[in-house]
Amino acid sequence: MALDEDTFHPGQMVPRSGIYRCSEGHGDHAYESTDVKGHRFPPLPDGCRGEGWRLERAADHH
């Protein structure tokens, strides 16, 4: 499975603050991580069958 430009590997820099979801794309259990722009993506959790993180909801900055 090839990663597209919207999927990020663990250890890459977070481009936009928000809630990211494991890229597995299906299943009953969602694996999410709240990440801050400029930090690094965490490792994928055990049980995640995806290959990276995808932005689920961007954070609003006020």
Neighbours of 55 (CB within 10 A): 18
**Count of domains observed in the chain:** 1
What CA–CA distances, in Å, run from 27 to 3, 8, 49? 19, 20, 10
Please say whether the beta carbons of 8 and 41 come within 8 A.
Answer: yes
With 0.85 as the threshold, say if the pTM is over it: no
- Taking only the tens place, the pLDDT of each residue in 33-60 is 999 999 999 999 888 888 899 999 999 8
Structural domain boundaries enclosing 13: 1-62
**Judging by beta carbons within 10 Å of its beta carbon (0-12, 13-18, 19+), is residue 21 exposed, middle or buried?**
middle
Q: What is the pLDDT of residue 26?
A: 58
Q: 46: Cβ–Cβ under 8 A, 6 or more apart, which residues?
A: none
